[in-house]
Structure 1
């Protein structure tokens, strides 16, 4: 698979994943399978036609008697007592074309209804999988953004470490600095170079991970265009919880499972009622060859079957499915409560992420100013190299934390939309 665009936005990444992600493709096949199960159950309403060819040989008196009758070869000599009691072995080829048609069987109707409910549940689950995969893609996109930022921070830190080493060397050159300060600055530069190597590898892996989530092949990479923007959250927790009830597809899938349990009770109760089937057959019998026709016959009829007592099996099955229905209802309530909690938690985490981002941005400003001041003091022999390097380390860490907080706020908003069931709607609109 080859991606057409070298750099993509979150929206573009999600659109690609919705078309090519392997999990979503597998889910689509599962939905098709569930729909085919409905068709399988509906097909039981249609007549069943079968063709059967059998060959038999016997010297059983009754069997030989019937074979000759079916073939139309029964003769008066066959009434001889010796022939009746001790017949010679005889063989028969029978060809039968049979038709069976259900006229009334409530279990067929209920099993079809259950299959339809299961298919609807599968569709809701597939829709929820689309939401989840979209959030996963967004998270992978943010991971690439974070890795790119870390690589940039590492490159910036290396440039600044080289400048610190230059300043240390200049001081040693004019006799105002210590050789140990230059060695310390060189060691610091080595550490930063190692961090840059790791950051570049992490970036490559993040791009590969994003490509894989989009449906790419192992080793493929996908770069991003960093157009991350902060969106204000204006909806209240109560409003978001109502949206979740309306839009969460997994909750609707759970509701369908409860309906399925109720239908299972009706299916079990169908065993109390009779079934009525019609049947017809056309038969050929031949003494010599398969599918031959020494004689033919037909029959047609209806069969009514009503089981009055099944050893309490039906009653126990009804009780079983009633218990399962009540269990499903409890799971449904618990799931709804869990979703409401998710919404509340994600809203609070989003607010927390926003405050942490503000602090992180201020920390970067303060750290940059600290490095600037200490660098001047170092040039004027008022501060040691170790103090400058400590300030630089704090600045590097503050920059990394700011990137984390930016990603964290974006992901927190995505989690809110996901818990409300509107992530795709908000991202793709």
Structure 2
């Protein structure tokens, strides 16, 4: 009779413990759902659009493009004729005169006004004008490439920050579930201890495990707040604004081969394009430096008006207006090697630009290889941790069954719970690592996405 009463008491305690555990897990789910409804969901696409619209570095790069466009327009004017005007006034101390047959004659005005209008058209500048225009055009190309580079860097930052929030949020979910389950297990241990079914040490052990889980939750919640603050900073939103993101974590295998990734990167990377433009610019600088070897040929057209009053309406000594056309060719024969030194300096710059291009190619190859290997490792890691997670779930289920049958200790069950929590955390980290590695590989190829 007494044995039956004890058995009934044990069953009531076990049933109560299961109810408490279920309530704890349900509260965790409810807490997660309510916390995610606090703010509107922000998709990754929306986040990127906001960042591109508000980022200051993007705005600086846009202004750099405008500046390069104006410089190109200015260089184009070198092909066009230039107009200039000059107005002079001259007063003589004495009126010039001459004497013929004893008679004095004035032959100039004491007040002399003169207006000169000039049209100059360069015909040949030793390729300097063309080189300046080509350099300005290359400068515009470089500005656009730099804008693309800034854009790609910003998109990657947004992706990493977005995935950082997802990672921290999911880890907090795991921590909350662990805290609730450990709280329920502590209550079970206390109930078992009160009826003499387990020793005091089981209660103390459960209490310690619960305290450790709460400490981990506090740390991970802080990490989540930091991740959200970093995300808001990148998007230039208020740093304390609440953030809710959608779950975009994917474990779909990456189909593109390494050779394909490398080929795309060598074609699309902005850093390589900029280095190639720098090589072309240095070649134009050599042509520009050599222009001093050639003669400069221009044609001028002048229109003159003169007179003894400010209206330059002529006088008895000068015609009211006149004009002329003149061709001018100039060449400098000797400057102590200045032009040769300038050419040699630009040739050295050209070698430097070509070496820099090869250096960047090597860096791109290494970067693509590194991120591709990271992606492959992440895929394998996901498979491993998934197996570990399945084993941890089954281990916890068996431990709970054994504990209810009083053939396992509380420590064994708590260890199983700890291993499950760690397995869930590892799975989340593996998923995030895989998605971050894919985002970095896409950036290494010079793409915004892999579609």
TM-score interval, normalised by the smaller of the two chains? 0.7 to 0.9
Query: Any unmatched runs of 5+ in structure 2?
Result: 1-38, 99-109, 315-319
Hey, what does 1:186 align to over in structure 2?
A: 207
Query: Are 1:354 and 2:379 matched, yes or no?
Result: yes
Hey, what does 1:394 align to over in structure 2?
A: 419
Query: Are 1:13 and 2:34 matched, yes or no?
Result: no
Hey, what does 2:69 align to over in structure 1?
A: 35
Shift in alpha-carbon separation, 1:298–1:402, aligned structure 2, 3 A:
farther
More moved, 43-52 vs 142-151: 43-52
Separation in structure 1 between the aligned mates of residue 307 and residue 394 of structure 2, nearest angstrom: 106
- In the superposition, the TM-score normalised over structure 2's length comes to 0.77
Query: Are 1:102 and 2:102 matched, yes or no?
Result: no
Query: Any unmatched runs of 5+ in structure 1?
Result: 56-65, 78-89
Structure 2 residue matching 1:102: 3-state secondary structure = strand
Hey, what does 2:339 align to over in structure 1?
A: 314
Check the 8 A contact 2:92/2:111 in 1, yes or no.
no
Hey, what does 2:134 align to over in structure 1?
A: 113
More moved, 162-171 vs 187-196: 187-196
- The within-5 A match list for 1:130-169 is 130-169=151-190
Deviation of the 1:223 alpha carbon: 2.0
Hey, what does 1:405 align to over in structure 2?
A: 430
Structure 2 residue matching 1:176: 3-state secondary structure = coil
Query: Are 1:67 and 2:91 matched, yes or no?
Result: yes
Shift in alpha-carbon separation, 1:294–1:365, aligned structure 2, 3 A:
same
Shift in alpha-carbon separation, 1:139–1:76, aligned structure 2, 3 A:
same
Hey, what does 1:214 align to over in structure 2?
A: 235
1:223-251 per-position Cα deviation (integer Å, ceiling 9, x unaligned) = 21113333332232222222222222321
Structure 2 residue matching 1:395: 3-state secondary structure = helix
Deviation of the 1:370 alpha carbon: 2.7
Query: Are 1:243 and 2:264 matched, yes or no?
Result: yes
Deviation of the 1:383 alpha carbon: 4.4
Deviation of the 1:32 alpha carbon: 1.8
Hey, what does 1:372 align to over in structure 2?
A: 397
Separation in structure 2 between the aligned mates of residue 315 and residue 114 of structure 1, nearest angstrom: 20
Deviation of the 1:416 alpha carbon: 2.5
Structure 2 residue matching 1:232: 3-state secondary structure = coil
Deviation of the 1:384 alpha carbon: 4.3
Deviation of the 1:308 alpha carbon: 1.3
Deviation of the 1:279 alpha carbon: 4.9
Deviation of the 1:181 alpha carbon: 3.1
Check the 8 A contact 2:165/2:224 in 1, yes or no.
yes
Separation in structure 1 between the aligned mates of residue 377 and residue 225 of structure 2, nearest angstrom: 31
Shift in alpha-carbon separation, 1:157–1:292, aligned structure 2, 3 A:
farther
Separation in structure 2 between the aligned mates of residue 298 and residue 142 of structure 1, nearest angstrom: 78
Structure 2 residue matching 1:309: 3-state secondary structure = coil
- In the superposition, the TM-score normalised over structure 1's length comes to 0.80
Separation in structure 2 between the aligned mates of residue 292 and residue 184 of structure 1, nearest angstrom: 109
- The within-5 A match list for 1:182-331 is 182-279=203-300, 301-331=326-356
Q: Which has the larger radius of gyration?
A: 2
More moved, 134-143 vs 244-253: 244-253
Hey, what does 1:61 align to over in structure 2?
A: none
Check the 8 A contact 1:280/1:298 in 2, yes or no.
no
1:169-204 per-position Cα deviation (integer Å, ceiling 9, x unaligned) = 111211223334323323332332233233333323
Check the 8 A contact 2:166/2:245 in 1, yes or no.
yes
Check the 8 A contact 1:212/1:220 in 2, yes or no.
no
- Residue-pair matches, total: 396
Residue 128 of structure 1: which of 138, 149, 157 is its match? Answer: 149
Structure 2 residue matching 1:103: 3-state secondary structure = strand
Deviation of the 1:369 alpha carbon: 2.7
Check the 8 A contact 1:9/1:226 in 2, yes or no.
no
Shift in alpha-carbon separation, 1:188–1:33, aligned structure 2, 3 A:
same
Separation in structure 2 between the aligned mates of residue 225 and residue 117 of structure 1, nearest angstrom: 42
Deviation of the 1:404 alpha carbon: 0.8
Structure 1 residue matching 2:203: 3-state secondary structure = helix
Check the 8 A contact 2:232/2:241 in 1, yes or no.
yes
Separation in structure 2 between the aligned mates of residue 204 and residue 341 of structure 1, nearest angstrom: 34
Check the 8 A contact 1:204/1:221 in 2, yes or no.
no
